[in-house]
Structure 1
Amino acid sequence: MSGVDGDDDGDDEEPVRNTNSETFVIAVRDLIHGNRYVYARSLTTSSLTPPRWYGKRYRKDGRTWKRRIRATDENWSSLMDAMTDAYLVWKYSDLQSPPSSHPDYNFYISTIDLYTLENTAHILRDQNTEPNVALVRAGYLGNSPLNPSLAISLQTLNLFYTLRLFKASLSVEAFAKTLCHLYKIPYRRGYRSALSDAFDVYLAILRKVDSRVPKELGHDGPDYRVKNSCPACCYKLEDEPRLDIQRMWVVDGNNSLKRIKGISGREIADTRVFSSDYYLSPEFVDQYANEVKARAQDHEDIVDEDVDEDGDAIHDNNEGDPTDGGEDDETDPVLAKLLKTCAEKWKASARDELKKMWAVFKECGIFASACRHGFILWIVDMIESGELAKYPLAMVAKALEVFGDQWILGYDIGCRFIRTILASSLGPKFQEKKCRTCVNAFHGYTHNIICQQHNHPLSIIGMGLEDLETLERVFSASNQLALITRYMNAYRRRVFIDVYFRQWDREKYQNLARTIHNNYVQALDIIEEDGEAVQDMLKELQITEKDLETYFEDEVNHFRDLGTELEDVHAVAYVELLQKFRSLHTEYEEASSSFRLHIPDDYTPLSQHQQYTSALSETRKAETKRRVIGEQRDRVLDELVQMEVQMGIPEGQRWQPASPQYIQALQYMKKRKYQQALESLYKLVVQRLFELHRLNLSQTGYKMRTHISQALQKRSQAIRNAVRRYNTAATALDPPRPTLDWSKVSHFSFLDEFNILQDTRHSVFDKPWAQANIRETMKRYRRVARAQEEIVRCNVEIRRLHTSIVNEDLEFVSILQRLEDQHSPNYGPVLEYIERRRGVNRLLMEQIQRTYTLPHFTGIKTPGIRKRQEPDPSHCSSDLAPVVTDHSPSNQPSVSVEHMGEPLFSHGS
């Protein structure tokens, strides 16, 4: 049963004190239908008598839930430091002497203990010790801060905490039902509330303890976690190879971790705000809220969708999304059109989920970032919105502040997002640090092939074999949280998400060496298998690696011009204007004389008045028609004269129907529709086939292949429409050209089946890189190049990890000695952290040794020296981990995995 104590008006009743050594009467508060009652129950030293429920109302409590929760939180906060100290004494102290106590203040209390199944416990305390402090010192935690009526053992809470670390979907209700089952009592909802409140306090105590450990280790500087959590990314060494890309990280949004907002917009009573170094504050994110505005055409598309079926208005402040920033590049209109196409596809895929999202949910999900090894960097709540530009911009701003130079950001719309960055206030610093963005490997295959040639990881020098799909794996695992956080209040939702990602990072560190090892093995396999195949194909085709590079460049240039007209479109436009002008001039002359020359066949004499009225009406209609046609003719004539000036056509030499230029343009116009339809069909077909071939669907797993096929379904529909337009234009020619059957086109697998496409002006049939065997060689050649880059990066990363483990253990030895000499109360939690860390480090060293023993390992097998970094004046001195420089690679032996004692490494290592 959960009690709420503490009134900010200061009019709470006094707690009932012990008046008999055999009996202790505890004031218990229960909230029933908005009223508060006080009951008494007798607890004896021998047994717990059933509670006697008194119906007498003590007084009516007029406080709101918000005031009650705030008062409870304030009362808990005042006890937190003392309870944390008591927790450290209970868990880590070896003293067997009982705490000071006084018979008048000792008490019995109802308990829940999964390990002992005891119903009561006798708690010792003195007059200076608060009841909850005494409970924690005895291994329990009360259900309310001032007058606890129920205590849950810390071991039980710790078991629930541990289970939740490895099974995030385990709910408080499920665990409460488990306890009721073991105690053989029926489950009631109040038990869940009591367990939930106690678990909140228990987590707060753990956070207090965890905040003391980094201070003792020197890990409490600003952004320390982001700068040091992943040694493979952060722990730079002296004299290591220079990497083209210093750091890779990714951002993306996830809409699974939503939270339902209050009915009719009402706020939840629990107004506590949880913050941690994982979350970027809303104030920081909102600094970039006005950097990008939604494009007008996109905003107009959803104006009619701003009300859902229930009539709830969807919040819309016209903020732009990550694709709305930056103007189109007039110097490169082809690339600008390409990026616009990518952005439109991204918007289309996101539109359905945004239509009804904002009216129902307060938090519509999270926007997260992670390094390439999966360590979480920052998290942001998406408040009543989809993926607005301010979320990734805030993370880019933080990365520019924390990271070094030459990093690359992976984003599923990274090809367009870079324009948003450059158009924002972050642009100058982004360019100064020589950073860039790209698309993720899996999502990138649904982008236009020209976009892939520039932004796909396989096409970027220095990327290695990284696919940048890290967050897809993160979200796939974290989605289990959605089962229990959907209806939580904002505070608890954030707490549970924070607990989950801290454990995620711990597991990522434990598996870091294995990740590098697997990357190394994958790269070696590609170099061995594809490298040999490439060399054999080069000999068979009688070409060189330099020829392959030339083919790559030619392919890029070809697809940039794909779909453009090679003829002089100005001549076509000029002839069209001439035809339109002559047509309007003829209509104008006919309109001027229509009234004079035209007499109706059914003409009948009219009276004088009727003749005058009818003639006046007809005259006005004829005059209006003549004036309108005349104005249209004059406008066309102005355009015609301007075009003649631009084309350099001398005055008086206007093209006539018998002019050679006019005839040539007219002939082209007759087949222009056919050519345009063919070019459009060619562009779609070639791009689709090359993308599918590049993706190599025949060697892709079933689930991934199915997902990609669904992503390409829209493009298939576009090809169907292009086939229809082509058939219409082909039958209009004289003589008609062959038509295409969509049922056959949809099953074509490569270019040689599209014989009709030889009629296009951008044909690839004469291009060497369009041949199937050469394309396969080009793909394997590029994979080998990326694999060789991956080997270099893995050599760097594994040595960084090795060095960090060596240096860390040297730190641990000195830190433990210092805390022991000082008799610090923090010695226990620091020792536990170090023991767990050393156990993980031993596992990492085993995997590092496995990598060192690979037949083709080319890295250095000894630890190095960490590179010194210039301290930031705005940060404290503990911003970076201590740099150990008293050992060098020459005198630093390779560490054996057989060393399993304590410490992991001796001072002489």
Structure 2
Amino acid sequence: MENEEQTLLEKMCSHHQKLWGSKRDNRTRRDRTQILVDAFAAQMGPMTSAYIDWQHDTKEDGLGKLFNHAEAAVVEDIENVYVVDLFSAYYSKVPIVEGDTYIASALVRQGLIPCAAYRSTVAITVRTLEVFRSLQLRCPRLGIQAFVRALCDIHGAAPRPYLTTQFSVAFDVYLAIRAKAHARVQTALGRDTPNWRLENACPACMYKLENETPIPLPFLATIDGNNSLKRFWRREREEFDAGGKAVPGASKERLDNRVAPGDYYLSREDVDKWSKEGLEDLMRGFVPDSEVEDEGEGGTERWQNMKEDATARAYGMYDETGIFPALCRHGFVLVVVDMIKSGELAKYGFAVTAHLVRVLGELGLGYDIGCKFGKMVRMHPALSKLAADNNLRALVGAFHGHAHNRRCQLSNLATYVSGMGLEDLEGCESYFSKSNALAATTRYATAFHRQQAITTYMKHTDTADAYQGLSLLLANKYRRALKIKASLPLLRQTMASMGVATRSVFEDWLEKEKTYLASLTKEPEHETLQMEYYQKLVNLHDHEERLNQMNGVETPFIPAPQDTTYAQAAAQTRRIETQRRHAGEVHTKTLAAVQDLEIRLGVGPRWVPGDKEWEDTAAMVTNRRYQRALDELEGLVVARMFELSKVNMSDTGYKLRKHIAKALQARSKGVKSALDTYNTAAAALSPPRTPLTWDQIVDYAFLADFDLLREGREDIREEPWAQPGGRLAMDQHFKLLRADEEIARLNLEIPRFVTYMADEEEFLIHHELRLCNEGNPTLAHQVWLQRRDRSRFNIQHLERLVKLSKEPGFTASLIRGISVNKDRHVPPPSPDDNDIEMPDVQAPEDAPIAPPHEEGGVDPDDDRGDVDVDAVADALEHILRITT
């Protein structure tokens, strides 16, 4: 019976399927992330208000205690929520008090961040999320999964995959709430205008004071690309086309319209405007600057974006292939763009440069290939005018510049550029050494989470690293400049022994070296014209003989048309006439060219075989190939010797020595190729010249050893600027010039920084008072939190600057100045302000003090030494003038 019923059921199911078919579920659930995002976005306003209230209500205990609602509050409901804390996890009955619009905002008001948008049954405490945020910013390699598993170990629970997802959702909500709260503070302070952060990124660079002495290149920045922060592109399995070629599968990224907080990033759309495809219309009618000086290819012959095979792999594997940031000379991040499926394309540099120039105006921009990039900017139809109007100067960093050829270094290396000071323009490299740690947690993240991690880290490095170390950086730069200036007596002794009267001679030496190296890149114009004139005369002689020969040819007798040989004879006649006409035209053109060259060379009687000019130029033409090979080999070997002299200088560090050695090794291939060409040309001479071996080239350490220069156009072995002692003296001269410029720049930056600390402190205190007076103590507390984050370093800054002021040769001022920008200027306090009850406003001297070091302990960051406490107190009194 049961079997019959089972059979009947199967038949009915089969019949039903035939009639109606099976419904296919085509939903992909790719929008589930977007649905969650939209749900939280609708509640973000109340959640932010609840978070601000919670921070204010728990200000006495901070993160150490969760908030309990007031006894007078009306409890409308109670939610049973599983609370995850640092050292415990438990169920808690969370009251929903009157006034809470959403359950999520009610949880936030209790210091809990929900893991779901509606009716969340799991919440994570703010202090747990804040501990993770702080740890990850200090150790970017720490990921959510590792932290969640650590919590599981502490709580004695087994790790589950969904726990990481819950924590990730709560962490995203927490960061979004913090970003919204920060935006409210910025609005209350009047700092929500476009590009406000960029215009105020660095106090030392941008907080200009009245009556400052103008300096060249008033703002210095550096740009570079880094491919460590790549992100895998989530795609379906690869497919194959009709030809059997693998085609990347379709994207399976989940929908997510969130963007990274803040304005660090330029959008992809803004960057793509500078691509080749976007410039086609601009190129029409554009006339580039014809006066762009050719300074050689520098190091660009060894710089490539990405090879084709690498580009193909990157296109299939990665969406974002790295970042391209811009930093000021003190390490503050100005702006950043993502590199998309490519290496360092020119459009990234164009987009960043255009944005910086529009917002900041005149600047010097350091780049690994600044020599080539500068020419590209000057030839750009949209960027050239903007760059010229704002005096943009593209430069090469001091480290990477030594991989460029010597001719490029003389024009673009920071050492030889007036106004640069001692800035090396290599800040991106040190920044990448820290930011590369983010790669472990961003390689497989979503596009939003990757950008969120990068911008959060950049904001942290600006406030906690770059700002915290600003005074130490300024002090170290000042001491380095003073140390270089102390070498002036030694330079004077060297000049006296060399018979050099004034230091201006070194400037002449630099120009002579530049002129000499430039002369080796092309033949002298006069010699070129002479050889061209000789060749035209030879051609003219040949064409005259040909024309005379054709004029002497008799045309055949043409018989009567009815004759059978008429057609053949007529064709032969036409052929002879055509050849005669062609010979005449060629002779006329050659004669015109000869006459033109005679005018340009100022030739009197026309040269004829046997004349001295004819014989000398004939020998010059014979040796032309040899001379070209000699010029190329000479230029490469001389540049190699100059760079070897840099390796042997005492102030050259180990890394720079290795960098120069690597560049020399890469250029050795070019020297070998030039050597082969030279030996081939030397063997073709009569008599043949002695070939040169690679071992001889390698053994040349000084120009005096380079006997081949005797045969060059100009023997520079006896030139003073080519001698080892002369080059050391010339290098020291330019270091002293840059040291003077560095001190002049620091004498502007230090007062700016001192004034900024005082103005910022008074400005924030003023707005705390104002917000309290307006009945908004919760937002006033947020302003206090922002002030605390900055002012906690002020004592340390003042200690360093006061210690620096005691150095011999210090000429900067620690007196508070008056800023050009009046945004931070506040009106004098009114008597009514004293009656306002402040929410625990602390001055920097009242801030929490770090625990003392144990006796015998050493703090590697402590540079205070013997600091005069009274001097620091006086500095606080005269600089900050804080009123509490």
Shift of 1:177: 1.6
CA offsets 1:39-70 (integer angstroms, 9 cap, x no match): xxxxxxxxxxxxxxxxxxxx999754233222
Cα distance in 2 between the residues matched to 1:458 and 1:862: 32
Shift of 1:724: 1.7
- Counterpart of 1:239? 211
Contact 1:572–1:665 at 8 Å: present in 2 too?
Answer: yes
- 2:391 match: secondary structure: coil
Contact 1:415–1:437 at 8 Å: present in 2 too?
Answer: yes
Any gaps of 5 or more consecutive residues in structure 1? Answer: 1-58, 295-317, 592-618, 870-879, 887-893
Contact 1:238–1:866 at 8 Å: present in 2 too?
Answer: yes
Higher relative contact order (CA 8 A, sep 6+): 1
- Counterpart of 1:473? 430
- Counterpart of 2:484? 526
- Counterpart of 2:223? 251
1:119 pairs, out of 75, 85, 90, with 90
Letter in 2 for 1:279: Y
Taking the TM superposition and a 5 Å limit, the aligned residue runs for 1:875-890 are: 880-882=823-825
Contact 2:758–2:881 at 8 Å: present in 1 too?
Answer: no
- Counterpart of 2:531? 572
1:855 pairs, out of 808, 811, 833, with 808
Contact 2:326–2:335 at 8 Å: present in 1 too?
Answer: yes
Letter in 2 for 1:93: D
1:349/1:271 Cα in 2 relative to 1: closer, same or farther (>3 Å)? closer
- Counterpart of 1:483? 440
* Larger deviation, residues 194-203 vs 739-748: 739-748
1:349/1:673 Cα in 2 relative to 1: closer, same or farther (>3 Å)? farther
Letter in 1 for 2:400: H
1:180/1:356 Cα in 2 relative to 1: closer, same or farther (>3 Å)? same
Shift of 1:628: 13
* Larger deviation, residues 258-267 vs 342-351: 342-351
Residue 549 (1) aligns with residue 507 (2): yes
Cα distance in 2 between the residues matched to 1:454 and 1:867: 34
- Counterpart of 2:255? 270
Cα distance in 1 between the residues matched to 2:105 and 2:883: 45
* Larger deviation, residues 674-683 vs 491-500: 674-683
Contact 1:697–1:705 at 8 Å: present in 2 too?
Answer: no
Cα distance in 2 between the residues matched to 1:181 and 1:446: 51
- Counterpart of 1:647? 597
Aligned residues: 782
Contact 2:815–2:878 at 8 Å: present in 1 too?
Answer: no
- Counterpart of 1:307? none
- Counterpart of 1:12? none
User: RMSD of the alignment, in Å?
Assistant: 4.1
1:883/1:725 Cα in 2 relative to 1: closer, same or farther (>3 Å)? farther
Cα distance in 2 between the residues matched to 1:629 and 1:776: 67
Cα distance in 2 between the residues matched to 1:234 and 1:439: 23
The TM-score, its normalising length taken from structure 2, stands at 0.80
Residue 833 (1) aligns with residue 786 (2): yes
- Counterpart of 1:407? 363
Any gaps of 5 or more consecutive residues in structure 2? Answer: 1-22, 59-66, 236-248, 551-568, 830-868
1:327/1:660 Cα in 2 relative to 1: closer, same or farther (>3 Å)? farther
Taking the TM superposition and a 5 Å limit, the aligned residue runs for 1:320-359 are: 335-336=293-294, 338-340=295-297, 342-347=299-304, 354=311, 356-359=313-316
Cα distance in 2 between the residues matched to 1:903 and 1:68: 58
Contact 1:245–1:407 at 8 Å: present in 2 too?
Answer: yes
- 1:74 match: secondary structure: helix
Shift of 1:292: 7.6
- 2:793 match: secondary structure: helix
Letter in 1 for 2:45: D
* Larger deviation, residues 682-691 vs 86-95: 86-95
Cα distance in 2 between the residues matched to 1:563 and 1:907: 64
1:97/1:259 Cα in 2 relative to 1: closer, same or farther (>3 Å)? closer
CA offsets 1:175-209 (integer angstroms, 9 cap, x no match): 12212222323323222211111111111111112
1:199/1:100 Cα in 2 relative to 1: closer, same or farther (>3 Å)? farther
Shift of 1:152: 1.7
Contact 1:257–1:479 at 8 Å: present in 2 too?
Answer: yes
Contact 1:248–1:407 at 8 Å: present in 2 too?
Answer: yes
CA offsets 1:468-495 (integer angstroms, 9 cap, x no match): 1111111221111112112211111110
CA offsets 1:194-244 (integer angstroms, 9 cap, x no match): 111111111111111221222333333322211223111111112222212
Cα distance in 1 between the residues matched to 2:651 and 2:579: 64
Residue 420 (1) aligns with residue 376 (2): yes
Letter in 2 for 1:515: L
Letter in 2 for 1:569: T
The TM-score, its normalising length taken from structure 1, stands at 0.78
CA offsets 1:606-646 (integer angstroms, 9 cap, x no match): xxxxxxxxxxxxx9xx99x9999999988975663342132
1:698/1:626 Cα in 2 relative to 1: closer, same or farther (>3 Å)? farther
1:201 pairs, out of 167, 173, 187, with 173
Cα distance in 2 between the residues matched to 1:453 and 1:343: 16
- 1:746 match: secondary structure: helix
CA offsets 1:58-110 (integer angstroms, 9 cap, x no match): x9997542332222111111221222222223332058654777888313222
- Counterpart of 1:35? none
Cα distance in 1 between the residues matched to 2:159 and 2:776: 46
Cα distance in 2 between the residues matched to 1:575 and 1:903: 81
Taking the TM superposition and a 5 Å limit, the aligned residue runs for 1:353-752 are: 354=311, 356-404=313-361, 406-422=362-378, 423-506=380-463, 507-528=465-486, 530-544=487-501, 545-566=503-524, 568-576=527-535, 637=587, 640-648=590-598, 657-658=609-610, 660-694=612-646, 696=648, 699-752=651-704
Shift of 1:883: 6.4
Contact 2:305–2:345 at 8 Å: present in 1 too?
Answer: no
Letter in 2 for 1:881: R
Identity %: 32
CA offsets 1:767-809 (integer angstroms, 9 cap, x no match): 2211111111010011011101111111111111111111222
- 2:319 match: secondary structure: strand
Shift of 1:420: 3.1
Residue 286 (1) aligns with residue 291 (2): no
- Counterpart of 1:230? 202
Cα distance in 1 between the residues matched to 2:286 and 2:706: 39
Taking the TM superposition and a 5 Å limit, the aligned residue runs for 1:40-79 are: 63-79=27-43
Letter in 1 for 2:742: E
Contact 1:768–1:774 at 8 Å: present in 2 too?
Answer: yes
Cα distance in 2 between the residues matched to 1:904 and 1:110: 51
1:458/1:728 Cα in 2 relative to 1: closer, same or farther (>3 Å)? same
1:683/1:638 Cα in 2 relative to 1: closer, same or farther (>3 Å)? farther
- 1:111 match: secondary structure: strand
CA offsets 1:496-528 (integer angstroms, 9 cap, x no match): 001100011011011111100000000011111
Letter in 1 for 2:529: H
- Counterpart of 1:179? 151
Contact 2:410–2:416 at 8 Å: present in 1 too?
Answer: yes
Cα distance in 2 between the residues matched to 1:645 and 1:689: 45
1:183/1:632 Cα in 2 relative to 1: closer, same or farther (>3 Å)? farther
1:900/1:828 Cα in 2 relative to 1: closer, same or farther (>3 Å)? farther
Contact 2:199–2:359 at 8 Å: present in 1 too?
Answer: yes
Contact 2:366–2:396 at 8 Å: present in 1 too?
Answer: yes
- 2:800 match: secondary structure: helix
Letter in 1 for 2:270: F
Contact 1:412–1:443 at 8 Å: present in 2 too?
Answer: yes
Cα distance in 2 between the residues matched to 1:87 and 1:691: 60
Cα distance in 2 between the residues matched to 1:902 and 1:79: 46
- Counterpart of 1:600? none
Letter in 1 for 2:520: L
Cα distance in 2 between the residues matched to 1:144 and 1:628: 93
Cα distance in 1 between the residues matched to 2:33 and 2:82: 23
Cα distance in 2 between the residues matched to 1:775 and 1:568: 31
